[in-house]
A and B are shown apart, each in its own frame.
Chain A
Amino acid sequence: MLSLEHVSKVYETRRGPHKVFSDISFSLQRGRNIGILGRNGAGKSTMIRLISGAERPTTGRIERRMRISWPLAFAGAFAVNLTGLDNLKFICRVYGTDYKPLVPFIEEFTELGKFLREPVMHYSHGMMTRLAFALSMAIEFDCFLIDEAMVVGDVRFHERCHYELFEKRKDRAFILVSHDAEMVKRYCENAVVLSEGRLYTFPDVEAAYSFYMGSIALKPTLADK
Chain B
Amino acid sequence: MRIKEFPFVRGLIVQSRVLHALLMRELITRFGRDNLGVLWLIGEPMLFTLGVATLWSAAGLHRGSGIPIVAIAVTGYSSVLMWRNATNQCGAGIEQNKSLLFHRSVLVIDVFLTRIALEIIGATSSFIVLSFVFIYVGWMRAPTNLLLVISGWFMLAWFGASLAMLVGAASAMSPLVHRLWHPVAYLLFPLSGAAFMVEWLPKDLQSVVLLLPMVHGVEIIRNGFFGTIVPTHYSASYMAECCLVLSLCGLFVVREASRRVEF
Contact = CB atoms under 8 A, between A and B. Distances in A.
B155 to A, nearest CB: 32
Interface stretch (A77-85, A100-108, A151-159, A170-178): A77-85
Contacts of B20: 93
Contacts of A31: none
A186 to B, nearest CB: 26
A81 B102 contact: no
Contacts of B13: 96
Interface stretch (A51-59, A123-131, A195-203, A210-218): A51-59
Given A81-B29, A90-B25, A96 B261 contact: no
Contact of B101 (A53, A64, A86): A53
A56 B21 contact: no
A181 B152 CA distance: 64
Most central of B25, B32, B106 by chain A CB within 10 Å: B25
Contacts of A64: 104
Interface string B221-263: 0000000000000000000000000000000000000110111
A55 B261 CA distance: 6
A142 to B, nearest CB: 12
Contacts of A82: 25, 28-29
B24 interface: yes
Interface residues of A, number: 26
A194 B21 CA distance: 36
B99 interface: yes
A81 B99 contact: no
Interface stretch (A21-29, A35-43, A66-74, A161-169): A66-74
Nearest to A76: B99
B100 interface: yes
B259 A71 contact: no
B262 A55 contact: yes
A94 B21 contact: yes
Given A54-B263, A94-B17, A96-B14, A89 B24 contact: yes
A189 B158 CA distance: 54
Contacts of B258: 56
Contact of A70 (B14, B18, B103): B103
B53 to A, nearest CB: 32
A49 interface: yes
Contacts of B263: 49, 54-55
Contact of B17 (A55, A70, A74, A93): A93
B98 interface: yes
A86 B28 contact: yes
Contact of A93 (B21, B101, B102, B259): B21
Nearest to A86: B28
B35 to A, nearest CB: 13
A71 B24 contact: no
A79 B29 contact: yes
Given A55-B262, A96-B14, A68 B104 contact: yes
A11 B24 contact: no
Contact of B102 (A54, A79, A96): A54
24 contacts: A11-B262, A54-B261, A56-B259, A56-B261, A67-B104, A70-B103, A70-B104, A74-B99, A74-B102, A76-B102, A77-B100, A77-B102, A79-B25, A79-B29, A82-B29, A86-B25, A89-B24, A90-B21, A91-B103, A94-B103, A94-B105, A95-B103, A95-B105, A96-B13
Interface of A: 11, 49, 52-56, 64, 67-68, 70-71, 74, 76-77, 79, 81-82, 86, 89-91, 93-96
